[in-house]
Structure 1
């Protein structure tokens, strides 16, 4: 199984929506809808046009993971839409790690030095993943003023990359 990570845009919106909503709603019972996430139907507008990016992880042509960078300040971005399909998770394929590394490389190339993200209490594996990658937990009050808050998020992380 060969993993291919590539930038994706609006033409992949339907696949990204299927992947992400299934994980949010069916796997974790997070009360979030497509209407709560208009970015998924307009990837290029929400991410690319503002200096961020959106990537997909593919195995044999199937979208199995996503990660996005929402640039919200000259040198700062928020990680969004970090999801890997259940049957493709784990150290064997290391898809989440590969996605994060692609995003961090993009940050280096584009002078984005500060990364932030929000997640929710129930996503314990995600929290462990970010902590293994040197993200530090921060209080909501310490987030930059321009950080784009998501209503469901209640745990926040920061990483300085230089």
Structure 2
């Protein structure tokens, strides 16, 4: 059974384990926990500014995450969208449910524009965002307050009003 719920600092250890495994071992992205201090301070980093952080749980095990940084009055950035390899794909629909949860939160909280950065080697992730009506945009079209991650080299945008 799949359950999507808010997660906070008490889940940091499981979140770090899930995300670093995918970043480092599966995709060889040269990123460490030191590059992602937000994972050790979820409440301050995400919730305090009006964003949020969700986990997908299968029978109590954390199998996916998605987070939102609200970086401007009506703008947010998707961060930490990860699903454990064994739980990916349409048959589970976990990524889709996580994204729908985030979009519903944005609509309810007056966030009209969603941005994200990712890395070009994550081809399936890019296809997923494009299927969900995100447009790839140039880095110089990002809002000035967009929270850039060093590793990101592809950027996407979704306008919720359209």
Normalization by structure 2: what TM-score?
Answer: 0.99
Q: Distance in 2 between matches of 1:45 and 1:26?
A: 28
Offset from partner CA, 1:7-34 (integer Å, 9 cap, x none): 0000000000000000000000000000
**Stretches of 4+ aligned residues off by more than 4 angstroms:** none
* 1:15 paired residue number: 14
Structure 1: give runs of 5+ residues left out of the alignment.
Answer: none
Q: Distance in 2 between matches of 1:17 and 1:48?
A: 18
* 1:25 paired residue number: 24
> Secondary structure at 1:47's aligned position in 2?
helix
Cα offset, 1:37, TM superposition = 0.1
Is 1:41 the equivalent of 2:28? no
Q: In the comparison of the two structures, how many residue pairs are matched?
A: 161
Q: How does 1:74-85 map to 2 (within 5 A)?
A: 74-85=73-84
* 2:152 paired residue number: 153
Structure 2: give runs of 5+ residues left out of the alignment.
Answer: none
Q: How does 1:32-111 map to 2 (within 5 A)?
A: 32-111=31-110
Q: Distance in 2 between matches of 1:133 and 1:10?
A: 29
Q: Give the CA RMSD over aligned residues.
A: 0.3
Normalization by structure 1: what TM-score?
Answer: 0.99
